[in-house]
Amino acid sequence: MKNYIKADEWNIIEEGFDPHLNKISESLFSIGNGRMGQRANFEESYSGETLQGNYVAGVYYPDKTRVGWWKNGYPEYFAKVLNATNWIGIDIRIGEEILDLNTCKVTEFKRVLNMKEGTLSRSFRAELKSGKIITVEAIRFCSIADDEVGALHYRLSAFNFDATVQLTSFLDGDVKNQDSNYDEKFWDQVSQQQDNDTDYLVLRTKKTAFEVCTVSRTSILHNGAVQELKQVSKDKYLGQTATINLTQGGHIDLYKIVANLSSENYDKEQLLSEAKLRIDMASAKGFSQLWKEQAEAWAKKWEEGDIIIEGDVAAQQAIRFNIFQLNQTYTGKDARLNIGPKGFTGEKYGGSTYWDTEAYCIPFYLSVAPEEVAKNLLVYRYKHLDKAIENAAKLGFKDGAALYPMVTMNGEECHNEWEITFEEIHRNGAIAFAIFNYIRYTGDESYLAQYGLEVLVGIARFWKQRVNWSADKNKFVMLGVTGPNEYENNINNNWYTNKLAAWCLKYTITAAAKVKEQAPEQYLKILQKTGLQEAQEFQDWTSVAEQMYYPFDEKTGVFLQQDGFLDKEQILVKDLPAAERPLNQKWSWDRILRSCFIKQADVLQGMYFFEEEYDLETLRKNFNFYESRTVHESSLSPCVHSILAAKLNDEEKAYEFYLRTARLDLDDYNNDTEDGLHITSMAGTWMSVVEGFAGMRVRNGQLVFQPFLPKNWNAFSFSIGFRGVQLKVSITADQISIRNNSDQELQVVVFNQAYPVPHGEKVISYKGALS
């Protein structure tokens, strides 16, 4: 665990330069706008440890799969969001020396991520080997107001010297992914063009043939006077150079405005002309205006979804960091895009889509963004339905059964470890649950007729075929699966998967009845399209759902994670020596698999989804049993524990788990922040506050709260949208107040009592409600 980020409510601040922390900071200070993003690499050359990263959403490369032992059904490739053209680069030569913080004496250094305005800035003072001292102030952003545009301003001043300074502002497309399976480069150059101060670089991905045009306009000023630029170029590289006689006290300003346009959004033939329009428009506004628009766009985002924590700066900073990074990753404007577990902050997980989106991110976007945003995430899977049916067919399923991939970019499976690819099938259930969750929150039942039901039918058919009848148990069983707890593979009757499967089957029948009643014409079309044999299939599904087998231990009253779980030696996490953790770095895989230690919420994940089915006593027994065996070596785990602990009134544990999820990256808990941030688990952090501490749920179309105030906080509040109404909910130790900003009256339930909330502020006291 590290502890070098300064506490601040709106900013992430690093002071002093420690090269060993650089890759961590590059992740933490990442910027993005949903369409593109980048790690916080330095503009100038840096020969120390770094992971260069610039990413353009939706542009990926199918990197040929590399496995030791090929299994039928494995995908041919792993799709990767590519490291794309580096547009921030500035080479700086001072006299004969290259500016490189790895070879300078850095006497002052500050890096700030301003979350209020969405900017990354850096200032430093460095002494070169020759004794020349410079100061630099740099600021840049990826515009969220115009998501194809980025801009930077870099000012360099001479503190104690006169010298010739040469600056080259460049675009460099000769980049590669560090995780390339065969050490290949993924880009070919299509064209390059230079037009005075403007560089156009068009690259095409190998195999997938996506084209991206990066255009950059540079201006360099010396003590305020515009300098002439000389153009330089080589393969996949274009630059603009100025050579300046800088004298002591003088300064140079470099402005760079950039646009990134991809063939995902324009005809390839139009890319250059569109890029020209875009760069003209952005540069006509200029750096200051673009910055102003950026700050305004972020102000709106914060208005829709800020969380304010009073009395605990570290917690405040952490929750804003999580919300900020989520908003930088996905804006919901484009239904083809999704949320990679690392967003635009690193290469791990390839920027591809996992079940994380449905299980963790949907609730966040439902509350803090317009309804279409969460809907787009669902439609993304709808568009992949045919591929999910193909995927299932490859594995031997038939008649329209759909198995969504574990990891995907375009609907095709990318994952290639059999115990996950073929067996971690619970992801199918999360996709169905997300449809239910969306409708529960928005009330938009028309989604079923429009898109949802077809997906549910495909998923239901899969579950029906995936179970088999056990004559021994006189029940349906599901063999050879991996649950969310990946520290157990190829097990039988994973309680969570069985539960989810049975629920999906029943929900699909209910959903079909709804569509039949509400949109009969559409229903007929769905029947035709899917070939659904209502009578027979519903009967089969009901029979599986009602006769599903669930492992249960009578003695402890605990649902067993899978058959035989109690055969394992039952040791508790508290008895594990600290030196042996994290287990995935200290133990052999074989030992992990045989142990009872759980990577992430599994049974508890199911109890979280279906909490209404369990009384508190059952929840408590299961929570105590599984919590004491869970090592949380997936970032997705602590939030579920935090929410359930809150429900059990275990305020201390709820807070402990919250801190663990909220500052996971800021404090580098798992020693892996340098690979990129845990973007999808950040949505879980948000859930810990809203569903955990505020106890917010939607029940019977109404918002329900069961709040408590963590001990270290004076108050907290959050903004959410619900069914067309914008609300601000504030919670203190004894009251909850809800500001309704619309004219529409809302009914809420606080500790089982209903209250009308008309326009304005409604204060409800809840003191004593718990006793």
Smallest distance, Å, CB 567 to ligand BGC?
Answer: 23
Cβ burial 502-522 (10 Å sphere, 16+ → b, else e)? bbbbebbbebbebbbeebeeb
Closest to ligand BGC by CB, 312 vs 675, is 675
Coil, strand or helix: which one is 224?
coil
Minimum distance from residue 648 beta carbon to ligand BGC (Å): 24
**Residue with smaller CB distance to ligand BGC, 119 or 634:** 634
Q: How many CA atoms lie within 13 A of 277 on its CB side?
A: 7
Instruction: Give 341-375 as a DSSP string.
Output: TTTTS-SGGGG-B-THIIIIIHHHHHHHS-HHHHH
Measure the CA angle with vertex 715, ends 711 and 718; round to 5°.
125
Q: Find tokens 């209502």 and name the residue.
A: 534
Q: How far is the CB of 489 from ligand BGC (least distance, A)?
A: 12
b/e burial code for range 9-40 (CB count within 10 A of at least 16 → b): ebbbbbeebeeebbbbbbbbbbbbbbbbbbbb
Name the E strands within 263-336: 307-310
Query: Total residues at the site for ligand BGC (CB under 6 A)?
Result: 12
Q: How many Å is the maximal CA-CA distance in the chain? A: 89
- Give the ranges where 547-678 is alpha helix by DSSP (H): 583-586, 589-594, 603-609, 616-627, 637-647, 651-662
Shortest Cβ distance from residue 420 to ligand BGC (Å)? Answer: 9
Q: Which stretch binds ligand BGC (CB under 6 A): 352-360, 531-539, 559-567, 568-576?
A: 352-360
What does the alpha-carbon distance between residue 630 and residue 603 come to, in Å, rounded to a whole number? 11
Q: Which one of the spans 80-88, 353-361, 411-419, 498-506 is the region binding ligand BGC (CB under 6 A)?
A: 353-361
- Candidates 146, 211, 356, 627; binder of ligand BGC (CB under 6 A) is 356
Is 486 designated active site? yes
Residues 680-709 that bind ligand BGC (CB under 6 A): 680
Residue of 75, 346, 484, 676 that binds ligand BGC (CB under 6 A): 484
Residue 94 near residue 132 (C-beta atoms within 8 A): yes
Transcribe 465-505 into DSSP letters.
Answer: HH-EEETTTTEEE--SB--S-TTS-SBS--HHHHHHHHHHH
Return the range that interacts with ligand BGC (CB under 6 A); candidates 151-159, 354-362, 366-374, 432-440: 354-362
CB of 239 to ligand BGC, least distance (A): 38
Q: Give strand pairing partners of 705.
A: 750
User: Quick one: 52 or 681, whose CB is closer to ligand BGC?
Assistant: 681
Q: Cis peptide before 582, with omega less than 30 degrees from 0? A: yes
Indicate the residue among 356 and 371 with the shorter CB distance to ligand BGC.
Answer: 356
Out of 55, 355, 404, 708, the residue judged to bind ligand BGC by CB under 6 A? 355
How many CB atoms are closer than 10 A to CB 205?
21
Antiparallel, parallel or unpaired: β 735-740 and 760-765 = antiparallel
Q: Does 364 bind ligand BGC (CB under 6 A)?
A: no
As a residue count, the chain comes to 771
Is residue 600 a contact residue for ligand BGC (CB under 6 A)? Answer: yes
The minimum distance between CB 484 and ligand BGC, in angstroms, equals 6
CB of 486 to ligand BGC, least distance (A): 5
At its nearest, how many Å lie between ligand BGC and the CB of residue 355? 6
The DSSP-derived string for 642-666 is HHHHHHTT-HHHHHHHHHHHHTTTT
Of the residues 43, 148, 413, 486, only one is catalytic, namely 486
- Residue with tokens 């808990």, as numbered in its chain: 669
* Segment near ligand BGC (CB under 6 A); pick from 74-82, 138-146, 291-299, 347-355: 347-355
Closest contact distance (angstroms) between CB of 511 and ligand BGC is 25
Find out whether 580 and 513 touch, Cβ atoms under 8 Å.
no
Q: Site residues for ligand BGC, window 443-462 (CB under 6 A)?
A: none
Q: How far is the CB of 569 from ligand BGC (least distance, A)?
A: 23
Backbone φ, ψ for residue 276 (5° rounding): -65, -45
Q: Between residues 562 and 717, which has the closer beta carbon with respect to ligand BGC?
A: 562
- Asked if 514 and 445 touch (Cβ cutoff 8 Å), the reply is yes
Please choose, from the candidates 769, 764, 686, 698, the residue with its C-alpha nearest in 3D space to the C-alpha of residue 732: 764
For residue 599, the minimal CB distance to ligand BGC (Å) is 6
N-terminal to C-terminal alpha carbon distance within the chain: 38
CA distance 261 to 273: 11
Cα-Cα-Cα-Cα torsion 585, 586, 591, 592, nearest 10 degrees, comes to: -40
Query: Pseudo-torsion of CA 598, 603, 608, 611, nearest 10°?
Result: -150
CB 737 within 8 A of CB 762: yes
CB 407, min distance to ligand BGC, A: 8
User: Residue 291 interacts with ligand BGC (CB under 6 A)?
Assistant: no
Decide whether 244 or 500 has the Cβ nearer to ligand BGC.
500
Task: Read off φ and ψ for residue 544, nearest 5 degrees.
Answer: -65, -45
Sequence-separated (6 or more) residues with CB below 8 Å from residue 264: 58, 59, 210, 336
Indicate the residue among 118 and 411 with the shorter CB distance to ligand BGC.
411
- Which of 186, 349, 597, 686 is the binder for ligand BGC (CB under 6 A)? 349
Which residue number, 292 or 348, has a Cβ lying nearer to ligand BGC?
348
Kindly state whether residue 486 participates in binding ligand BGC, applying the rule CB under 6 A. yes
91 binds ligand BGC (CB under 6 A): no
Count of CA atoms in the C-beta half-sphere (13 A) of 656 = 9
Whose tokens are 């002591």? That residue is 248
405 binds ligand BGC (CB under 6 A): no
Q: Which of 141, 291, 324, 354 binds ligand BGC (CB under 6 A)?
A: 354
Nearer to ligand BGC, 384 or 599 (CB): 599
Which residue lies nearer to ligand BGC by CB, 274 or 412?
Answer: 412
Comparing every residue's Cβ against ligand BGC, the nearest one is: 341
Q: Of 118 and 405, which CB lies nearer to ligand BGC in the complex structure?
A: 405
Reduced 3-state DSSP string for 415-437: CCCHHHHCCCCHHHHHHHHHHHH
Helix/strand/coil percent split, the chain, to 5: 35, 25, 35
Interface residue with ligand BGC among 118, 239, 332, 341 (CB under 6 A) is: 341
Distance from C-alpha of 177 to C-alpha of 167, rounded to nearest angstrom: 27
Q: By C-beta, is 242 or 601 nearer to ligand BGC?
A: 601
In the bound complex, what is the minimum distance in angstroms from residue 757's beta carbon to ligand BGC?
37
Q: Binding to ligand BGC (CB under 6 A): which residues in 630-649? A: 634, 636
In the bound state with ligand BGC, the residue whose beta carbon lies nearer, of 481 and 636, is 636
Q: How many CB atoms lie within 10 A of CB 754?
A: 10
Q: Which residues are catalytic?
A: 486
Give contact residues for ligand BGC (rule: CB under 6 A): 341, 349, 354-356, 484, 486, 599-600, 634, 636, 680
